[in-house]
Structure 1
């Protein structure tokens, strides 16, 4: 129980430190890419939660609900475009953060576990973006998702995964619901847990990190 408390406390301390050393404010090593990516993640969660009040995960209601959000909900156009822009920024920041870790050798011992956690976050972020792409249910979303499913079918065990993600057909009721549940709940919660673990590991390994 004490370890669980430490896990949460270290996560909160990393987000809201009481003291920040002057040397830690220099951007020459990390460029704050991890912190910026997490900020984009919080924006995604907030804007996505607001759209949940109006979005309908139904084959014949999804696109109409998007139009309603954009045209009839006060600030809806801004919230939806903020969500879309933040998703692109989030992926870019994660790629840059991963590249920075590779170039600076921050994946080496004793930080291998944190490197795997970070790589898992990148993979989940890509899958999160893919599941969200279908939700507007316009022609671009349908064709892009269909292309992704066809590519998935060429991989080992791809047909098994495809049958789980798309039990009926792309854009049909069961497929849309599965993409919706993964996009708003399963993947974000998994990413949040991994973020907490990632920050916890950073706090615990601060003695071996040159920038902390």
Structure 2
């Protein structure tokens, strides 16, 4: 699967007609490129961010006011997260409108939908990390909405066992945002590209 993923990123042959700009705009490839940029900027942000209720917001202020390029780096990470969601949504919409989810691509459609859901959850977990008023109340609203769903109370207890923004809850959001969800997104992306090559029908290259 890893080799197919690499071959998808670096194809041996590309047909000339497929180099032209089309209506699909390579939305999946653009989304993955933005994901890599978001990962790189996020790793740099880790150098200064402190995942504690007392230091989270002040570490963001320090990054933006005292670190050279810190404000740009944070803005880049935020813009990439917005672009990532938009590109994945447009890619999903294109698949629906063109009927690309039909046989033999049903499995890849499920994988792509899981990627969309994980991307939304990744954005949600990152929203709390700056720990300002907007982040706090947006997370509070999200948790209240979660309790209306099936098993919502259990999920809320798992995500925020000691309350919104408390040490354990912030640490869990932090771990989800920087480790668990990025690894899941990367693994599903590899599987997604592998299935694209395995299905052959949508390949413009070898």
- Identify the TM-score tier after normalising by the shorter chain: over 0.9
Q: TM-score, normalised by structure 2?
A: 0.97
The 5 Å alignment of 1:123-138 reads 123-138=117-132
The 5 Å alignment of 1:159-178 reads 159-178=153-172
Distance in 2 (CA, whole Å) between partners of 1:30 and 1:203 is 18
- The alignment's C-alpha RMSD in Å is 1.1
Distance in 2 (CA, whole Å) between partners of 1:29 and 1:209 is 15
Paired residue total? 205
Distance in 1 (CA, whole Å) between partners of 2:47 and 2:178 is 12
Match of 1:69 in 2: 63
Q: In structure 2, the residue corresponding to 1:42 is in which secondary structure?
A: helix
Distance in 2 (CA, whole Å) between partners of 1:110 and 1:27 is 26
Distance in 2 (CA, whole Å) between partners of 1:202 and 1:30 is 15
Distance in 1 (CA, whole Å) between partners of 2:152 and 2:131 is 23
- The answer to whether the aligner puts 1:144 opposite 2:141 as a matched pair is no
Query: In the TM superposition, what is the alpha-carbon distance from 1:205 to its structure 2 partner?
Result: 1.1
Match of 1:209 in 2: 202
Q: TM-score, normalised by structure 1?
A: 0.94
CA gap 1:69/1:172 in 2 versus in 1, 3 angstroms: same
The runs of 4+ residues in structure 1 deviating greater than 2 Å are 26-30, 208-212
* 1:70–1:77 CA contact under 8 A, matched in 2: yes
Distance in 2 (CA, whole Å) between partners of 1:34 and 1:196 is 12
Query: In the TM superposition, what is the alpha-carbon distance from 1:210 to its structure 2 partner?
Result: 7.1
* 2:15–2:204 CA contact under 8 A, matched in 1: no
Distance in 2 (CA, whole Å) between partners of 1:27 and 1:91 is 22
Q: In structure 2, the residue corresponding to 1:155 is in which secondary structure?
A: coil
Query: In the TM superposition, what is the alpha-carbon distance from 1:78 to its structure 2 partner?
Result: 0.8
Distance in 2 (CA, whole Å) between partners of 1:187 and 1:172 is 21
The C-alpha deviation readout for 1:1-57, integer Å capped at 9, x for no partner, is xxxxxx111111111123211122233353210010001100110000000011000
Gaps of 5+ in 1: 1-6
Query: In the TM superposition, what is the alpha-carbon distance from 1:133 to its structure 2 partner?
Result: 0.1
Gaps of 5+ in 2: none
Higher relative contact order (CA 8 A, sep 6+): 2
